[in-house]
Amino acid sequence: MMKDQKIKVGIVRGGSLKHYASSLEKGGHIISHIFENLSDKYKVVDILIDKNGVWHLNGIPIDPQNLVHKIDVIWDISHSSFSNIIENFSIPNISNSPFLRTLENNSDMLRRHIKDIGLNMPRSIISPKNAREVFEKFAAPWIVKINNEIKLVKTFDELTETLKNEDDTVVEEFISGKVASIHSVPFFRNQDFYTFPIGNSFGSFTTSEKEKLSVLAKDLHYHIGANHYLKSDFVLNPRGKVYLLSIESIPDFHKDSHLSQVSESVGVKAHHIIDHIIGKALNKRI
């Protein structure tokens, strides 16, 4: 590659009805940050997989096999079902394994997997038959997730009404305590796993609590094998026990996102993280 030739970064987004809009949005933020702050180094190639699974390069349909000669590195923001296709391209890529993507969307699998590092999650029931089934497993209050909506339910009657005529639901026990999100990036700022400060959160944390959560986030990142980034959502109950609420492996670089806020607090811009992640995929530690 010539010295003055830009690195072509293909941002792959879309491909899933459930996460289609989110994928387009998060990929769009990465495209914008590269274009506005890193255009002297990278050339963005927008790769869209539509809802029918058809690939498009800058708006034009393309056979995905033909991408090999058009880009230098892929950043995969698409649905996990396309990750195997991308792995077969033999192009450096920013993606996570189908197993990790499954863990993100399957709380039971994630719960079993993280027991090895002594971390717990709130109990849950997927698509319960009725409110009685939930009540017999764990008491109120409950967190009810229906599609993309989350509701706190405090009484049995309210739970009965909430679950009525709803098939695709997840009910979790509510853990009271202090909630925090921790973002971790491998090999950033000369650390194996750099964790950003907790920043805005629900509840104030002591120094020892912050250190405890940071260590847990690093252990979790290593244990589940997140390649480039991980967001870990925790709750610390009044007795000091930590529960994992959820994980995300695709960063949100929206200007008002939690990641952007905590990055700014330590003098890091979104494009610094983007540049680092791309460099790591190209086997360059920045």
Same domain, 235 and 115: yes
Same domain, 140 and 234: no
Report how far residue 72's alpha carbon sits from residue 10's, in angstroms, rounded to the nearest whole number: 8
> Is residue 143 within 8 Å of 245, Cβ to Cβ?
no
pLDDT of residue 106: 85
Share of the chain above pLDDT 90, in %: 69
**Which tokens go with 45?**
């190639």
**61 occurs within a structural domain:** yes
**261 occurs within a structural domain:** no
* pLDDT tens digits for range 172-224: 999 999 999 999 999 999 999 999 999 766 668 999 999 999 999 999 999 99
β-pair type (242-248, 142-146): unpaired
Kind and range of the H or E run holding 134: helix 131-137
Same domain, 113 and 228: yes
φ, ψ dihedrals at 67, nearest 5°: -75, -20
Residue type (1 letter), 205: F
Among 111, 145, 173, give the residue marking a domain's end: 173
Calculate the average pLDDT of the chain. 90
**274 occurs within a structural domain:** no
∠ Cα 11 253 65 (to 5°): 10
φ, ψ dihedrals at 258, nearest 5°: -60, -40
Q: 15 falls in which pLDDT band (50, 70, 90)?
A: confident
The domain tally of the chain equals: 3
Same domain, 146 and 188: no
pLDDT of residue 83: 67
pLDDT higher for 281 or 105?
Answer: 281
Same domain, 42 and 149: no
Report how far residue 276's alpha carbon sits from residue 220's, in angstroms, rounded to the nearest whole number: 21
The residue-averaged pLDDT of 4-22 equals 86
Report how far residue 66's alpha carbon sits from residue 62's, in angstroms, rounded to the nearest whole number: 7
Query: What residues make up the domain containing 224?
Result: 101-119+177-250
| Range picked from 78-92, 195-209, 230-244 for highest mean pLDDT | 230-244
**89 occurs within a structural domain:** yes
Residue type (1 letter), 269: K
**How far does the chain reach from its first CA to its final CA, in angstroms?**
19
> Is residue 192 within 8 Å of 186, Cβ to Cβ?
yes
pLDDT of residue 1: 46
pLDDT of residue 284: 55
Same domain, 52 and 84: yes
pLDDT of residue 25: 93
Q: Minimal CA–CA distance to 135: which of 154, 109, 151?
A: 154
Residue 77's CATH number: 3.40.50.20
pLDDT of residue 24: 93
Same domain, 243 and 110: yes
Report how far residue 218's alpha carbon sits from residue 205's, in angstroms, rounded to the nearest whole number: 18
Measured CA distances, 50 to 69, 88, 109, 252 (Å): 22, 20, 29, 21
Residue 198's CATH number: 3.30.470.20
Same domain, 112 and 184: yes
| Length reported for the chain | 286
Kind and range of the H or E run holding 11: strand 7-14
**Which tokens go with 134?**
């939930």
Report how far residue 171's alpha carbon sits from residue 162's, in angstroms, rounded to the nearest whole number: 11
| Range picked from 14-28, 36-50, 62-76, 136-150 for highest mean pLDDT | 36-50
3-class secondary-structure state, position 182: strand
**265 occurs within a structural domain:** no
β-pair type (149-153, 142-146): antiparallel
Q: Look at the pTM and tell me if it is higher than 0.85.
A: yes
Report how far residue 113's alpha carbon sits from residue 126's, in angstroms, rounded to the nearest whole number: 18
